Structure 1
Amino acid sequence: MRHSCRRLRRGAVTAVVVGAFLVPVAGGSAFGAPVSVPTTATATEPPSPSDTSNGFTQLTPDVRQQLDDAVRRVMREADVPGVTVGVWTPHQGNYVSSFGLADKSSGRPMSPDLYMRIGSETKTFTVTALLQLVDDGKVGLDDTIGQYIDDVPNGDKITLRELAGMRSGLFNYSEDPDFFKALTSDPRRPFSPQKLLGYSFKHPVLFPPGEKFDYCNTNLILLGLVVEKVSGTPISEYIQDNILDPAGLNHTNFPVDAAFPSPHAQGYTNQTASGDVEESTDWNPSWAWTAGAMISDLQDLHAWARTVATGVFPDGETMISPATQKQRLTTPPTTIPGAGYGLGIFDVQGWIGHNGSLPGYESLTIYFPPARATVVVVLNTDIDYKGSEPSTLFGDAITKIVTPQHVFDLPAQPAAH
C-alpha cells in the first residue's frame, strides 16, 4: 500500500509514508545475473505445474525466469539500486534472488542476508503489542486514548481501535513543514515521541473519529506510548521479549539509536533538504519510532508474514487470541481501490500484510492464505517512479505472475498540491 512509514511530504507536504517528490535519479543500476538461493518445494506429492487450485502458480523454471525478468524490468524503470525478492510456498516451490547493488560506491552486490530498515512494517509489531495487552485485559480496543495520554485533540472520543485502524482524524506529524525542515536539516538528530506529537497537535483535527480512513503515523506514536504506559516497559524491550523472541526473529530489532547491524545495504533517498539524492543509511530512525523505526532481514520477514497473518507463533503457541486476531483482520475498505485496512494490517486483493518505507529503504511483506504463500521484497531506495513506490511496483509485477487472479495492484497516488 502507498501508506508505509515514509514520505515526509507529498508535493508541499505528506506523510512518513505517503506522497512523493518525483525526482528522477541520475545514474544507472546493475541488472546482471541475480544472486539466487536455490530452494525446492517440500511437499511429498507436489502438484503439477498447471495446478493453480489454490490460486498460486507452480514455480517452474519458466516461472522463475519470468520473475527474474519482471524484477529486472521494475529495477530499470524505477532505477532501483538493489533488491532482494523471496517467494515461499509449501507446495508450489520457493524462489529467493537478489539483484543489483547494496552499495553504489563500492559496487558491493545486494544479497539475501542483509539487514534492512523496514519502515511501517514496524506498525505490525506495535499493534501486536497492543493486542497482546488487550488479550491480557489491561486495555480495551474501545477505550479512548484520553484514558491513557493527556492533551490529545479529541482524546475523549478517539478509541485505540480507531488509532490502530487509521481512522482517528488526527493530523499526521510527518506532513508538518516544520517537522520536515527539522529532520532534513539534521537527519541524525533524535526525536522524542512527545516532540513528534507536538508537530501533529498544533493542527486541527481533520474529521470526527471513525468517519473515514486516513493513514497517519501520529496514531502509532500514541499507541506506542500506551504500550509503554500500560506494560511499564520500554517499547523496544516489550517487543523483544513478547514478540521477537517467541517468534524466533533473531535478526529483527527495535533500535534505540541510529545503530545499524552489519551487514546492511546503503540506502538512497531524495527526501533531503536540497531534493538531491543522498545516502540515508545512518539517519536516526527515532523520528519514526513505533510507526517505522525497526530493522529486519529477508528470512525474519518471511517468518513474520505468516505469524502476523495468523496470530500464531511458529511453535504453535498463540501470539494473539483467535477472537482478537479476527478483529485485527477485519479490514474495512479504504480510499485505495481493492485495499482494506484492519488493525495495523492491510488486505490487498487477498494478500495480507504491510509495506514499509522511510528515506532510503522500502519493504513489502505479504501472505496469501489460500496457498500459505509469502512474498517479501526489500530494497534500498524509496524514490517514487511515476507516483508509485517501487515496493508496490515489485509487488504488482510479482503477483501478476504467481497469483494472476489476486494481483497486489495499487494505483499511483497523485501528489497533493
Structure 2
Amino acid sequence: MRITSRWRRAVAALAGAAAIAVAISGCTGGDPRDATTPDLVSGELPGDTVEQLQGAVEHAMAATGSSGAIVGVWVPWAGAWVTGLGSTAHEGGSEVSTDMAFRIASMTRPMTCDVLYGMVEDGIVELDDPVSKYVPSTPDLTDVTLKQLCDNTSGLARSHDTLLDNYLRTPEREWNAREVAAAGLGKDRTEAGVAFTDSDTGYLLLGVALQNAASETPAALMRRYVTGPLGLDQTRLPGARAEAPGEPALPGYYSDQEDRDAGCVAPREYTEMSASFGYTDSGAVSTIDDLGAYTASLAARAKDGDALAPRWADAKPISTKSDSWYQYAGGTFIAGSMVGQQGTVPGYMTSAYADMDNGLTVAVVLNNSAAPESLVGYLAKELAAIVSKVPAREGETAPEFGLPWTAEDYHQRIADRAVCPIE
C-alpha cells in the first residue's frame, strides 16, 4: 500500500486527500508503510502567510547567492503552498518550476536508515551487529554497531570535509564509498554510543554494510524499502556516472571565496556530477512533492502513542551547548515536535521537517551551496514557525501546539551566516 501517493498527489494539486489508515501502534519506525498521514484540506494558504513565506525564502536566497529555490509547505488544517522562486541562472535563466529535480543531500540519511530497519525486520541484519561483520576492511570497528551508524553515535570523524576540494575540481569523478570513508576512518574517533557526532563516514559505511549483507546495490535496496512502498517515483539513488539530478533539473551552483568577495555574481555550476561521493550519506535526488511526502511519512512513524518510536527513542543532544529540544536519532534531527534533516552537496542546500503530532510539513532547496549547511535548516524552521500560526479553514480545527523557536530568531540567524550580500 502506498501511503503517501495520494498525499503527494493532493499537495501537488492542492486538493484534499484521505488518510491511509495503517496502525502505527507498537511499530519500530522502520517500515515506511507503517504510518498514518493526516488529511490535507483543499486550498491555498492565506495571502499574508504566503507573503511572509516568500519573503523568508527570498531572504535566504540572497544570503546564499542562490538564483532559484523550490519550496513546499503543507498545513493539514489550512492548505498548502508549493512553488518555484527565482531563476535557473543569475543571468539568462528560465523560471524555476516545482517539477524540477534536485539533490536532497542529508535527507538521504533517513532513507538509508529505513533500509537498515527494513532489513532488520526481514531478518537479514541485526541493529547491534558490528560494522566489521559486513565490512571486513574495518576489523577495528567491532565496537561500532549498525544502529550507531544510523544514530550518528559511532564516534567516527567526517570524511567529506577532507576531500571536498578534490570533488569540486572533478565533479564527474566516480568514487568508491570505501575510499571516501577512509578519509574519516584515518582520523581520531571518540567512544561509540556515547554522544552525537555528525559523521558522513558512518552513513557511507552503513551503505557498504547493507549492500554486502543483502548482496544488492544501495539503489536497489532503497527502491525496495523506501521509494517503492511509498510510491516516490521521482526519488532515487543515482549510479556513479556523472549526470543531472533529473529531467528537468534545478541547476546547482557554488560560489567560491573569490565569487563571494565579488558579491556572488558568477558561481560555478555543479548540476551534472557523480552522486558516488555522497552515496548513502547524501547522494539521493528527488522533487519537492516527493520530498514533502517522504518527510511526512517520517514524522508519522516517529511517534508510538505519546512516546518516540523505538528507532528514535535513544535520541542524543546535538551538543552540550544546544537547546534541550534539539536532538538526533534514527537518521534525523528532532527539533521540538518536528523531525527532519538539513545539508548540502555541491550545488544544493536542502532541508525538510515535519511535525510528529499534526503533520505540518516544510521542504526547501536553494541552488547555491556556498553557505554553512545549518543555514538551510534555519530556513526550514523559519517557515515552520510562520505557518504554525495559520488559522484553520472553515470546518477544520487547528491543533494546539507551539514550536520552541520563533521565525524572527531564525531569520536573524540566516542574516548572521550570510555569505552573499543581502539587499
Q: TM-score, normalised by structure 2?
A: 0.75
Change beyond 3 A, Cα 1:215–1:271: farther
Question: Corresponding residue for 1:252?
Answer: 235
Change over 3 Å in CA distance of 1:332–1:238 after alignment to 2: same
The match for 1:289 is 279
Is residue 229 from structure 1 mapped to residue 212 from structure 2 by the alignment?
A: yes
Instruction: State the Cα deviation string for residues 264-293 of structure 1 (Å, max 9, x = none).
Output: 111111369998831111122211111011
Partner of 1:51: none
CA contact (8 A) 1:40 1:94 kept: no
CA contact (8 A) 1:129 1:239 kept: yes
**Seq. identity, %:** 25
Q: In 1, distance between residues paired with 2:16 and 2:268?
A: 41
User: Deviation at 1:340?
Assistant: 0.8
CA RMSD of aligned residues (A): 3.0
Q: 2:300 aligns with which of 295, 310, 315?
A: 310
Distance, in Å, in 2 between the alignment partners of 1:226 and 1:288 is 16
How many Å separate the matches in 2 of 1:108 and 1:363?
21
**Residues 176, 276 of structure 2: 8 Å contact kept:** yes
What number of residue pairs does the alignment pair up?
Answer: 352
Kept in 2: contact 1:382–1:389 (CA 8 A) = no
- For residue 373 of structure 1, what is the amino acid of its counterpart? L
Structure 2: distance between partners of 1:232 and 1:109: 43
Q: What are structure 2's unaligned runs of at least 5 residues?
A: 1-10, 19-43, 261-265, 390-401, 418-423
AA aligned opposite 2:179: K
| Change beyond 3 A, Cα 1:126–1:159 | same
Q: Which digits, 9 at most, give the CA deviation of each residue in 1:70-109, with x for residues without a partner?
A: 3233333443211121111222111112211123343211
Equivalences for residues 399-414 of structure 1 within 5 A: 399-403=384-388, 405-406=402-403, 407=405
Flag the 1:169–1:369 CA change in 2: closer, same or farther, 3 A. Answer: closer
Tell whether the 8 Å contact from 2:343 to 2:374 is kept in structure 1 after alignment. no
Which residue, 149, 160, 170 being the options, matches 1:163? 149
Asked if the contact 2:75–2:360 (Cα under 8 Å) also holds between the matched residues in 1, the reply is yes
Residues 42 and 254 of structure 1: CA distance in aligned 2, closer, same or farther (over 3 Å): closer
Report the alpha carbon displacement of residue 147 of structure 1 after superposing the two structures with TM. 1.8
> What is the alpha-carbon distance in structure 1 between the residues aligned to residue 194 and residue 227 of structure 2?
34
Which residue identity is paired with 2:112? T
Aligned with residue 344 of structure 1, among 318, 321, 331: 331
Partner residue of 2:48? 62
**2:349–2:366: 8 Å Cα contact kept in structure 1?**
yes
1:122 aligns to what?
Answer: 108
Superposition pairs of residues 97-246 of structure 1, within 5 angstroms: 97-152=83-138, 154-176=140-162, 179-205=163-189, 207-246=190-229
Separation of aligned partners in 1, 2:48 and 2:16: 16
- Aligned 8 A contact 2:343 2:373 in 1: no
1:72 to 58, 61, 72: 58
Q: Residue 271 and residue 288 in structure 1: after superposition, are their counterparts in 2 closer, same or farther (change >3 A)?
A: farther
Corresponding residue for residue 317 of structure 1: none
1:226-279 CA-partner distances (Å, limit 9, x unpaired): 111111111111111332122110111110022222101111113699988311
Q: Which residue of 2 aligns with 1:263?
A: 248
Distance 1:184-1:37 versus aligned 2 partners, 3 A rule? closer
With normalisation by structure 1, the TM-score equals 0.76
Distance 1:87 1:221, change over 3 A: same
Q: Which residue of 1 aligns with 2:27?
A: none
Would the aligned equivalents of 1:170 and 1:200 in 2 still touch at CA under 8 Å? yes
Counterparts of 1:137 and 1:286, CA distance in 2? 28
Aligned to 1:378: 365
The 8 Å contact of residues 184 and 271 in structure 1, kept in 2 or not, is answered as no
Q: State the alpha-carbon separation in 2 of the partners of residues 144 and 187 from structure 1.
A: 33
